[in-house]
Structure 1
Amino acid sequence: MQSAPPNPTIRIQIRVSLLSVAMFLLKAWRSTAFGVYGYLNFTKSGFLEHSKDFNPEDMARRIDGKNCVITGANSGIGYATAHGLASRGATVYMVCRNKERGEDAVSKIQSSTGNQNVHLEVCDLSSVRDIKSFSSRFKEKDIPVHVLVNNAGLLENKRVTTSEGYELNFAVNVLGTYCMTELMLPILEKSQPDARIITVSSGGMYAAPLTTDLQFNSSKFDGVTQYSSNKRVQVALTEKWAEKYGDKGIGFYSMHPGWAETPGVAKSLPSFSKSFEGKLRTSDEGADTVICLPLKHHIGTGNLFAEIAPYNNRSVETK
């Protein structure tokens, strides 16, 4: 009588280092903590709660005669900022990539505010060449610039390389912001000590550490991670600018608008936009701090968290 053949035994050994487990758990914790904190503070309900501490007088100030340059101004936070500053008497230069959409935005703001001192400047913020051309043209106007708002931003989910050889998100969010600021500094110096440079970061930067892999070459491309990293770099740049140019009479600030319902968010993060439908802030609610900064008389430079926190509790911590 034959005995039954032994059952085959398969042994799988999985070796996971403690460091890998720790990094995974840390990433999961940070993601969860950021999501909970963001839901409580960055959505419309957070804005309504924080707005109880707003001082209406601060936002009612006029800034007639001030020249303000705003990048990415034809929609979303940029448009709301341009509209808000124009309604308070500022001369606004809207820097937009698309001429037709820019002209339409300028016309709407002129009509709704009654301020005809709203102008279009066409410039592609993903191109260093274009930014150099824009700054050169602007210098020929021979006018001071009191406020530069680095608002233009991009979240492209697929890797795209510009004609100048840069990853597209990096080109707009980091390189474009850097070049615009550095090239416009001599013009802003003309309006010291009132000159202010405001960079619009993102709440996503809280979940992204600083990295030297600025063009995301070392691993599989992820647009959201790249965008978040870019926005973290913007905050670090603000710190460095404040240190480097602190004696030039220019204030450097970074902030983020919370989670706002904008065309950019709807296009780049459709699932997020749909999940939070009705809960996201409006563009005007997102732009309140950007508008507040040029209106306030006495504010420090660099880290806004202490000075501006009463206005939305979301000015970016830069330390």
Structure 2
Amino acid sequence: MSLYRNTVWFFKGLKEFTKNGFLSASKMFKEDDLEVDCSGRHYMITGANSGIGKCIATEIAKRGGTVHMVCRNPSSAEEAKQDIIDASNNSNIFVHILDLSKPRDVHKFAQDFCKNNESLHVLVNNAGCMFNIRELTEDNLEKNFVTNTLGTYILTTQLLPLIKQSEKPRVVTVSSGGMLVQKLDYTDMQFEKMKPFDGTLAYAQNKRQQLKDKLRTPDEGADTAVWLAVSPAAVQHPAGLFFQDRNPAPTHLPLASTKVTTKEKEEFMTALEELSKKFAG
């Protein structure tokens, strides 16, 4: 990661990613964008038991949506479920236990969900992790990569048939400004060449792959994801964009040399798909 990228990202972060950045951007928000009745629509949120994911789930539940919480930890998930029910007075909240670092389980979960449910209108890929030591799972996959990238990819692609048949479907993937300092590296997806291993850089690379009082609160961090998930205004934009504070935003810093060719993107997606197929049932 170059000194230039670090410097540009640092000043951009101070201006845009902090609480003050949100307060400044929110002055331009249209409040009626979120005056939406979500009754009858089904929303799946990964990592919905805490932080931004819990805030997203709560805001959707308050608007009457049926919420499917996908969480790794059963006890914290049930506790969060009750919090969401209490805050929203909406009992249509369902917990699904899934560890995204286990690709076979992700395949099975998605397939079972499609068989047992008639619709899924919105998928919000929020769950993520950041391990500072390079660790491998029982499937010999690096933990950051398999959780943040491969698991999310499998879940999304396997749920797409159900999502596509639902009315006004959407897939929202929560990212991080840290991805702006990383160039997509499809040749080392599991960070075998990263010496020494750096969990922060690995996390930033994962976010590129997905596409204290100064920091934003979870509610502020969740705002754009909620807007993308429920607002009719959001679908006025083309699919596949990167959003920040309810507006499309660049996916690269100026002059940072993080762009890749179409061929490199295709090779990355091909490698990801081939890896996914190894764990299909």
TM bin, normalised by shorter chain, reads 0.7 to 0.9
Q: Is the 8 A contact 1:303 1:316 kept in 2?
A: no
Aligned to 1:60: 35
Give distance in 1, aligned partners of 2:239 and 2:205. 19
After TM superposition, list the pairs within 5 Å mapping 1:1-319 onto structure 2.
Answer: 27-192=2-167, 194-212=168-186, 213-220=188-195, 221-235=197-211, 277-297=212-232, 298-304=235-241, 311-313=245-247, 315=249, 317=251
Q: Is the 8 A contact 2:180 2:251 kept in 1?
A: no
Q: RCO (CA 8 Å, sep 6+): is it higher in 1 or 2?
A: 2
Provide, for residues 236-295 of structure 1, a one-character-per-residue CA deviation record: whole Å limited to 9, x for no partner: xxxxxxxxxxxxxxxxxxxxxxxxxxxxxxxxxxxxxxxxx2100000100001100122
Runs (5+) with no aligned partner, structure 2: 253-258, 260-281
SS of equivalent residue, structure 1 residue 170: helix
Aligned to 1:8: none
SS of equivalent residue, structure 2 residue 2: helix
Q: Is the 8 A contact 1:69 1:95 kept in 2?
A: yes
- C-alpha RMSD of the superposition: 1.7
Shift of 1:304: 3.2
Give distance in 1, aligned partners of 2:250 and 2:54. 21
Deviates more, 1:86-95 or 1:132-141: 132-141
Give distance in 2, aligned partners of 1:108 and 1:29. 44
Name the amino acid aligned to 2:84.
I
Shift of 1:301: 3.1
Give distance in 1, aligned partners of 2:85 and 2:132. 34
TM-score by length of structure 1 reads 0.75
Shift of 1:313: 4.9
Shift of 1:315: 4.7
Structure with higher Rg: it is: 1
Give distance in 1, aligned partners of 2:246 and 2:22. 7
Deviates more, 1:67-76 or 1:214-223: 214-223
TM-score by length of structure 2 reads 0.84
Runs (5+) with no aligned partner, structure 1: 1-25, 236-276
Residues 151 and 103 of structure 1: CA distance in aligned 2, closer, same or farther (over 3 Å): same
The alignment-based identity, stated in percent, is 42
Q: Is the 8 A contact 1:68 1:92 kept in 2?
A: yes
Shift of 1:29: 1.3
